[in-house]
Amino acid sequence: GENVEQHPSTLSVQEGDSAVIKCTYSDSASNYFPWYKQELGKGSQLIIDIRSNVGEKKDQRIAVTLNKTAKHFSLHITETQPEDSAVYFCAASKAGNQFYFGTGTSLTVIP
Amino acid sequence: DAGVTQSPTHLIKTRGQHVTLRCSPISGHKSVSWYQQVLGQGPQFIFQYYEKEERGRGNFPDRFSARQFPNYSSELNVNALLLGDSALYLCASSSSGSSGETQYFGPGTRLLVL
């Protein structure tokens, strides 16, 4: 099966600074890598995703990079705001669309 | 448009009981997946259904079962509950459940087994 590792487990940044969360995966057949933001009472929201034929994708303050050779991908949040505080999960999937999730990163943005 | 809905939102059961959790996918989505999220961990895949057929199953005991109805809604059943079944159960829907397809998650059902 697939094994996804996520680091760090907790991250605190000052408002306006950047935050980076890293994930590694084990199965080279994985081809889709979404990131979810989970807030209490709000469920899990897809914030960005990337497919294996792309090395980088950006959406306003959020970007994701993928290194297929090294089997790792990262979430970058720039100009962080207090409302970015949440738990973030990375995931990897392949044929069949079963998602394998990391263990989550609790991000706190300090005003 | 309504997103993925799940019911109930919270549930308390005792060991040995059974539980049924329900999920309604986004309108037009034909695939539903179930995940278990234990406190402090990421979601773990339990089942995927597409067009009422089981398409995938994670590493969970036979006490866990599910089904999908003609309207694409789904139920997750857990028999002989154990304390370790206490978790947030998430339902996700996607259009066809194909590889690389985005899944949209519901708010979850929080199950506590005493």
> Which residues from chain B sit within 8 angstroms of residue A101, using beta carbons?
35, 42-44
Determine the residue among A38, A42, A44 to mutate to test chain B binding: the one whose Cβ has the most chain B Cβ atoms within 10 Å: A44
* B60 in A contact zone (CB under 8 Å): no
pLDDT value of position A69? 94
pLDDT value of position A95? 74
Closest CA to B38 of B84, B4, B79: B84
Name the residue of chain B whose CA is nearest to A4's CA: B42
Reduced to 3 states, what is the DSSP secondary structure of residue B84? helix
Closest CA to A93 of B101, B96, B47, B106: B101
Measure CB to CB from residue B42 to each of A49, A94, A103 and give the nearest one. Answer: A103
Cα–Cα distance list, A75 to A36, A59, A63, A64, A78 (Å): 10, 11, 6, 5, 10
Per-residue pLDDT tens listing for chain A (111 residues): 789 999 999 999 999 999 999 999 999 999 999 999 999 877 789 999 999 888 999 999 999 999 999 999 999 999 999 999 999 999 999 877 789 999 999 999 999
Cα–Cα distance measured from residue B33 to residue B60, given in angstroms and rounded to the nearest whole number: 14
Task: Render pLDDT for B27-62 as a digit per residue (tens, 0 to 9).
Answer: 999 999 999 999 989 999 999 999 999 998 999 999
